[in-house]
């Protein structure tokens, strides 16, 4: 039989072996109630969540702060990229981009520090010749000095055409509210004539209407007719050089001016009607004569 000393030495050796790190798990006693896997001893097994439940749980806000944070990170509709833009939309956006780029490049007299800043006063003076206030005052002065019925008839219809042009352009500008390429504040005369926005160009519309009106109702030599057409074009382009309008504003202004001329030709007032209007305006009209 082995001695007691041998038994004790073997027990010490066994304890020293079990104390090593690789055999530490052998020293732990198993938990009562079964020897299943650790996950089974931790508690009852939960039912697996379906995909729909997981999505609903992730969408439910934990508190008001997370909901506000998610709403703040939502992009506005105008900032969202349109994945399938139409050909018409692409073409319109491209044309507008080209229009803005060319208009800014042509605004060489937009300020005194521009490339053509030294010519700004001359270009502004040219634009003044197509201003609505200038033409309305000039037509009224000529009407008071006219002594012929034919001249008064032409001047009264021209005055009505100018008023129609000012009111129509101001109404369209109020509806569209397009700013100029350089975001300039309108001047005093522009505010008086209600020419505060960019589309359509009021000077171009007026110049086209007046030049066509004078070419149709005045007998002018060929050089004067050419100068009148050139003046209308220069008045329209001068506003682009000053940075007040885009190129498309000028083109639409010319088209609107031609429409105003055609409209006035359709509703042309006769000489008798013009004389009645003159009498009413001068407070000399009497219904008994």
CA–CA dist 118, 121 (Å, integer): 7
Q: Which residues are catalytic?
A: 203, 245
CB 190 within 8 A of CB 245: no
Q: How far apart are the first and last CA of the chain?
A: 161
Does any domain span residue 137?
yes
- Sign of torsion, CA 225 168 188 102? negative
pLDDT score, position 88: 79
In a domain, 103, yes or no: no
Domain that holds residue 231: 118-274
| 179 in a structural domain | yes
Name the domain count of the chain. Answer: 1
**Looking at 188-231, which runs of residues are DSSP E strands?**
none
Establish if 101 belongs to a structural domain.
no
Q: Read off φ and ψ for residue 3, nearest 5 degrees.
A: -80, 170
- pLDDT recorded at residue 84: 57
Q: What is the Cα–Cα distance from 198 to 180, expressed in whole angstroms?
A: 5
Contacts of 250 (CB under 8 A, 6+ apart): 201, 204, 236, 237, 239, 240
266 part of a folded domain: yes
Q: What is the pLDDT along the chain (289 residues), one digit of tens a residue?
A: 555 566 566 656 555 555 555 555 555 554 454 444 444 444 444 545 554 454 455 445 455 555 555 555 554 444 444 555 687 788 888 888 898 898 888 888 888 888 888 888 999 999 999 999 999 999 999 999 988 999 999 999 999 999 999 999 999 999 999 988 887 788 888 888 888 898 999 999 999 999 999 999 998 999 999 999 999 999 999 999 998 999 999 999 999 999 999 999 999 999 999 999 888 887 765 554 4
- Cβ neighbours around 250 below 10 Å, total: 28
Predicted TM-score of the model (pTM): 0.66
| 57, 148, 172 from 196: Cα distances, Å | 55, 38, 11
φ/ψ of residue 268, rounded to 5: -60, 130
Provide the pLDDT for residue 114. 83
| Cβ-count burial 8-35 (b if 16+ within 10 Å, e if not) | eeeeeeeeeeeeeeeeeeeeeeeeeeee
Instruction: Give the integer Cα–Cα distance in Å for 39 and 231.
Output: 93
In a domain, 127, yes or no: yes
Domain membership flag for residue 218: yes
Contact 156, 269 (CB under 8 A): yes
Q: Could you identify the residue written with the tokens 């300039």?
A: 184
Looking at residue 284, what is its pLDDT? 62
Which residues have a Cβ under 8 Å from the Cβ of 252 and sit 6 or more positions away?
A: 199, 200, 201
* Residue 155 domain-assigned (yes or no): yes
């Amino acid at each position: 039989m082995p001695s007691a000393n041998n038994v004790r030495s073997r027990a010490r050796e066994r304890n020293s072996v079990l104390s090593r790190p690789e055999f530490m798990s052998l020293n732990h006693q198993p938990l009562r109630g079964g020897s299943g896997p650790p996950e089974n001893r931790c508690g009852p097994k939960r039912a697996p969540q379906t995909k729909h439940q997981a999505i609903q749980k992730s969408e439910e806000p934990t508190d008001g702060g997370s909901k506000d944070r998610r709403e703040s990170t939502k992009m506005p509709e105008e900032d969202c990229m349109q994945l399938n833009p139409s050909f018409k939309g692409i073409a319109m956006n491209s044309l507008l981009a080209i229009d803005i780029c060319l208009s800014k490049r042509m605004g060489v007299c937009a300020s005194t520090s521009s490339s053509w800043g030294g010519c700004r006063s001359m270009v502004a003076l040219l634009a003044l010749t197509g201003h609505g206030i200038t033409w309305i005052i000039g037509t009224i002065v000529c009407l008071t000095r006219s002594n012929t019925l034919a001249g008064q008839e032409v001047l009264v219809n021209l005055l009505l055409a100018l008023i129609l042009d000012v009111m129509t352009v101001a109404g369209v500008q109020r509806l569209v509210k397009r700013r100029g390429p350089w975001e300039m504040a309108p001047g005093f005369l522009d505010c008086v004539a209600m020419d505060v926005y960019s589309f359509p160009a009021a000077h171009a519309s007026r110049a086209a209407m007046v030049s066509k009106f004078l070419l149709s109702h005045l007998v002018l030599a060929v050089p004067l007719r050419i100068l009148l057409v050139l003046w209308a074009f220069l008045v329209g382009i001068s506003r682009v050089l000053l940075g007040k309008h885009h190129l498309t504003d000028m083109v639409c202004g010319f088209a609107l001016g031609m429409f105003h001329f055609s409209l006035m030709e359709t509703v042309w007032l006769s000489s008798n009607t013009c004389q009645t209007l003159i009498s009413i305006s001068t407070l000399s009209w009497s219904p008994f004569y």
